[in-house]
Amino acid sequence: MFHKQFSIALLSLFFVLSGCEKAQNTSETQKASETQMTEKSQDLVIYSSRNEQLILPLIEAYQKETGTKVRFVTDKPEPLIEKIKAEGELTPADILMTVDAGNLWRASQAGLFQTLNSPVLEKAIPANFRATNNEWFGFSQRARTIVYSTDRVSPEKLSTYEDLANSNWKGKLCLRTSKKVYNQSLVAMLIAKHGVEKTEGLVKSLVSNLATDPFSNDTKTMEAILAGQCDVAIVNSYYFGRMQKKDPDLGLKLFWPNQSAQADELSGVHVNVSGAGVLQHAKNPENAKHFMEWMTGSQAQTILAKGNMEYPVVGSAENDPLVASWGGFTSDSQSLTKAGELQAEAVKLMDRAGYR
């Protein structure tokens, strides 16, 4: 009997000790897992609509300078905005980086960004290149300007965006599709300047001057000029830069419109931005803010400008030599928040005007 009781007691002790060891192992595993998650959560996570080859040099430079690990996801603006909305508080992303003030404004309207209190950003970024509530900031400028055939057009014949609606350009104009946010933002800024009625008349006249149906991108639009289908078009300058880099003797040139700043015109070249904002549910808001402020430095601004032949927003940064060769211009001084606020109206207007 004694031996039986002793055996039972010994067996019970074994199970107790075994359970304690298992609990200890589980606790250690949980601690290791939590540590790993904490370490991972300290990584800066960026959702970007900019192509990997454009954002990677920027991230590598930041990681090298600060030691902060940066992870990123790339996609088009619309899917990224929907992804962040769907993820809600669980999103791993700290920053949304995208092109065009219209996209940044939409993300802001969806409540995705937090307001940043940063004297560094406010001092470096001109007021018209950032949100009025400081939820997003532009970090590079993108000029949407006129390009023309050097064989068939004298630059003295060019003057403004509005002038392209005149009948003397009938059958000579090419445009990119109205479905692209770049053109939606341009029309939105025209509405901000002229009002809906006058802008609708301008867009209808632009459509009537088209030599052919709108193209899917700016490169095809310029190729149509080279093929003799049209003489002038409106494009983002960096697309022209890419073509000129491949062929220095390209039979096209850029023209900076609206430089006379007349009351009935845009006050300068339409310039949009690529920019970013810190997300409402960012896990690393301080790191994200530091990255945003770092983007105003000369190294980041030069990488941004030269990487895609855009223009820096900070005046002290260098342009790409090819971009510098195009000469300077005065840009439209209106706040780019209008590109977002009036985007829906611009889309409806273009549809009524038959701009597809």
Tens-digit pLDDT profile for residues 226-272: 999 999 999 999 999 999 999 999 999 999 999 986 767 899 999 99
Q: What are phi and psi of 138, to 5 degrees?
A: -85, 140
- CATH number, domain at 242? 3.40.190.10
- Any idea what DSSP says for residue 72? E
Do 277 and 137 belong together in one domain? yes
In tens, the pLDDT along 146-161 reads 999 999 999 999 999 9
| Strand ranges inside the chain, DSSP E | 44-48, 70-74, 95-99, 137-149, 173-174, 232-236, 252-255, 270-278, 311-312
337 inside domain: yes
Do 258 and 282 belong together in one domain? no
Predicted confidence at residue 41, as pLDDT, reads: 62
Predicted confidence at residue 40, as pLDDT, reads: 55
Q: What are phi and psi of 98, to 5 degrees?
A: -150, 175
- Residue with the two structure tokens 């003030």: 101
166 inside domain: yes
66 inside domain: yes
Predicted confidence at residue 315, as pLDDT, reads: 83
159 inside domain: yes
Predicted confidence at residue 261, as pLDDT, reads: 66
Do 135 and 199 belong together in one domain? no
Do 186 and 281 belong together in one domain? no
Do 136 and 112 belong together in one domain? yes
Do 335 and 313 belong together in one domain? no
The pTM of this model reads 0.87
Helix 101-109 / helix 181-194 crossing angle, nearest 10 deg: 90
What residues in the chain have per-residue pLDDT under 50?
Answer: 1-39
Instruction: Quote the domain boundaries for residue 228.
Output: 143-270+329-352
Predicted confidence at residue 195, as pLDDT, reads: 97
